[in-house]
Amino acid sequence: MDVNAAVAAAAAIAGLCTGVIAMLAFRWSERDQKKPTRTSLRPDSKGPLPPGVDTVLSVLSSSAVVLDESDSVVKASSAAYALGLVRGGRLSVEPMLNMARDTRRDGEIRQVELDLPRRGTGRGEALAVSARVAPLGSRLVLLLVEDLTEARRIEAVRRDFVANVSHELKTPTGALSLLSEAVMDASDDPEAVERFAGRMQIEATRLTNLVQELIDLSRVQNDDPLEDAEPVRVDELVAEAIDRCRQQAGSKQITMAAGGTAELRVWGNRGQLAAALGNLVENAVNYSPARTRVGIAARRVAVSGGNEIEIAVTDQGIGISEKDRERVFERFYRVDPARSRATGGTGLGLAIVKHVAASHGGEVTVWSSEGQGSTFTLRLPEAGAARDRDRTSGGPLIVNGDEGPYQAAAPDTLDPFPAPEVLP
């Protein structure tokens, strides 16, 4: 009995020692795994970021680059590569790299705006960017880059627009001021008063037209024409445009002919479409010499995804040179400024046409030959095709930019001076 008890006691002691040794070995192994090593602290592209930083960088709209103490890129967004900020695992923009080094040295946040060469183009265009550098922990530096190119372009367009508006408003208001003084000085001369009063009426009309076209341009840029879209008959739009210009055409003995517009319908805002076509017809009348013709013709054109309607306005006027053809749709641009002053043009009519066409999912093009005349073609989705396209793709494309060529080949199958038809 004593022998068995001794054996059992020895086995228990041996088991206890084995358990203690195993527990100590496990503790030592766990401590060794937690101990930092030279490999885990190495600041290369595979090194770890602070918790949560990777998630935050993935949702930023800015181009993000994280640098370590050796200026190697630890993390970079796809936008940073697209802008050409990172090449070969290094930050390629020297001013930004110097900022990162300064921030790493003193821990201060820095920001600067730079112009960078546009990657992949041989032109002199530059990217305007805003770079901000901040420390990220004790060894990393975060660089955030915002692309300001589009914002600067919009600001330049807005600045030019304000300058042009100021100039255009100053001309008639200054003329009215001078004419009013002339009327006061010629109060004893009825003929002079009548002459100056007529000039005042012309300048007041020009001022009224300018203000109205500014309102129209603002409306077509800000409003969604498809909110109140409906099928609009082309012959009604043409009739309204002709009525709008009938007095000017009659005073110059200009014949206006329309054809091919029956049974055609476009989809959009009736008021905006009428204003756009009216501007085209009014320009054709204003820039045509006396005893000529202005033709308005329409046709259906088959395109992928449905039909479109082309409305062409053709004149026998002075024509447009090739260098001016690409700019006629810019705001306040005039082919012949002297003639525009004589006709009371504001330089906004074709800009309104362009915005109306784009917001309706169409386009406007121009063909012209100097000394022979011009043809402006307004292409819009047909009513049924536009409805189907709106249901399947979420609506036509809306374009607000001012750039792009608006130039077409000479019209061939579309008769510029169709046989006149009876308009309702």
Structure-token pair, residue 396: 């036509």
Residue 251 sits in the same domain as residue 395? yes
Residue 208 sits in the same domain as residue 124? no
Q: Calculate what percentage of the chain has a pLDDT beyond 90.
A: 17
Structure-token pair, residue 380: 């819009």
Residue 208 sits in the same domain as residue 252? no
Is residue 349 domain-resident?
yes
One-letter identity of residue 184: M
Q: How many domains does the chain have?
A: 3
One-letter identity of residue 118: R
- Length of the chain equals 424
Is residue 24 domain-resident?
no
Residue 77 sits in the same domain as residue 97? yes
Is residue 1 domain-resident?
no
Q: Based on the number of CB atoms within 10 Å of its own CB, is 343 exposed (0-12), middle (13-18) or buried (19 or more)? A: middle
The pLDDT assigned to 400 comes to 33
Residue 217 sits in the same domain as residue 228? no
Residue 167 sits in the same domain as residue 254? no
The pLDDT assigned to 226 comes to 67
Domain end among 147, 165, 188: 147
The pLDDT assigned to 34 comes to 44
Structure-token pair, residue 92: 């390629």
Q: How far apart are the first and last CA of the chain?
A: 128
pLDDT tens digits, 186-227: 888 888 888 888 888 888 887 887 787 777 777 776 666 667
Local confidence band at 236 (pLDDT 50, 70, 90 cut-offs): very high
Domain end among 126, 147, 168: 147
Is residue 31 domain-resident?
no
Residue 321 sits in the same domain as residue 235? yes
Alpha helical stretches, state H, 124-233: 149-185, 190-222
Is residue 88 domain-resident?
yes
Structure-token pair, residue 128: 């305007």
Contact 332, 408 (CB under 8 A): no
Residue 62 sits in the same domain as residue 91? yes
Q: Based on the number of CB atoms within 10 Å of its own CB, is 64 exposed (0-12), middle (13-18) or buried (19 or more)? A: buried
pLDDT tens digits, 264-277: 999 998 888 998 99
Residue 131 sits in the same domain as residue 156? no
Among the residue ranges 51-55, 166-170, 343-347, 405-409, the one predicted with the least confidence is 405-409
Overall average pLDDT of the 117-139 stretch: 75
User: What is the pTM for the complete model shown?
Assistant: 0.54
Residue with tokens 């020895």, as numbered in its chain: 10
Q: What is the widest separation between alpha-carbon atoms in the chain?
A: 152
The CATH number given to whatever domain includes residue 200 is 1.10.287.130
The CATH number given to whatever domain includes residue 259 is 3.30.565.10
Residue 9 has pLDDT above 70, yes or no: no
Neighbour count for residue 195 (Cβ, 10 Å)? 15
Is residue 339 domain-resident?
yes
Residue 183 sits in the same domain as residue 277? no
Residue 421 sits in the same domain as residue 300? yes
**Residue 213 is part of which domain span?**
149-222
CA nearest neighbour of 74 among 56, 59, 54 = 54
Alpha helical stretches, state H, 257-382: 270-286, 322-325, 337-343, 349-359
Residue 62 sits in the same domain as residue 124? yes
**Helix, strand or coil, per DSSP, at residue 133:** strand
Higher confidence at residue 318 or residue 402? 318
Domain end among 132, 147, 162: 147
CA nearest neighbour of 314 among 423, 417, 242 = 417
Is residue 307 domain-resident?
yes
pLDDT tens digits, 42-82: 333 445 677 777 777 777 778 889 988 888 888 888 888 88
